[in-house]
Amino acid sequence: MLDLEVVGVRVEMPSNNPIVLLREAEGGRYLPIWVGAVEATAIAYAQQGIEPPRPLTHDLMRDVLQALGVTMTEVRITALEDGVFYATLVFSDGSEVSGRPSDAIALALRTSSPIRAAEAVLDEAGIDLPEEDADTDGADGESPVPAEEQVREFREFLDHVSPEDFG
């Protein structure tokens, strides 16, 4: 399993379909996953620290886990079959629950749980960026690329990508 970071949510044009963008923590590949509008909003709210006046479904799930004394230890994006991603939520009591990656990501952000993906998933659906775009950690002695610049580059990339590019 490879560690991923949530870059953000973006609306793919011209279809207006929301995408959550994940980045390989130790590499240059990005994983775009098309999600529903509700899940995209839940992910964006969690990233921005927005607390709605009443709990959203993912907030409720987090609160139920806390009330039961169980923590989510990680989210695993385990497979990609016929264009559909699959995820598993792993809990501190050893239980595992299958779920949609969009829901799993929204809950992971609320519980500060790591998100991981099977290498086969990244091999199949990951997108490599050119080396100069992928080097954001300053390992070559230069300053790291600011997060705002990374997001701008992703938006430009997404303006030219379609779901068919991953099939």
Report the percent of the chain where pLDDT is more than 70: 77
Q: How does residue 154 score in pLDDT terms, banded at 50, 70 and 90? A: low
pLDDT higher than threshold 70 for residue 5: yes
For the chain, the 3-state helix, strand and coil shares in percent, each to the nearest 5, are 35, 30, 30
- What's the whole-model pTM score? 0.75
pLDDT digits (tens, 9 = 90+) for 92-105: 999 999 999 999 99
The encoded tokens of residue 164 equal 């068919």
Cα 57 from chain centre = 18
Number of structural domains (the chain) is: 1
51-74 burial, b if ≥16 CB within 10 A, otherwise e? eeeeebebbebbeebeeeeeebeb
Q: Given this model, what pLDDT does residue 145 score?
A: 43
Determine the residue type at 140.
D
Q: Which domain holds residue 30?
A: 2-166
Q: What is the mean pLDDT of the chain?
A: 83
pLDDT (average), residues 56-75: 94
CATH number of the domain at 46, please. 3.10.690.10
pLDDT digits (tens, 9 = 90+) for 8-44: 898 877 778 899 999 999 888 999 999 988 899 899 9
Q: Given this model, what pLDDT does residue 124 score?
A: 93
pLDDT digits (tens, 9 = 90+) for 127-147: 886 544 444 343 333 334 445
Please tell me the least confidently modeled range out of 1-5, 9-13, 76-80. 9-13
Residues shown for the chain: 167
| Distance separating alpha carbons of residues 96 and 166, to the nearest angstrom | 28
Q: Given this model, what pLDDT does residue 93 score?
A: 94
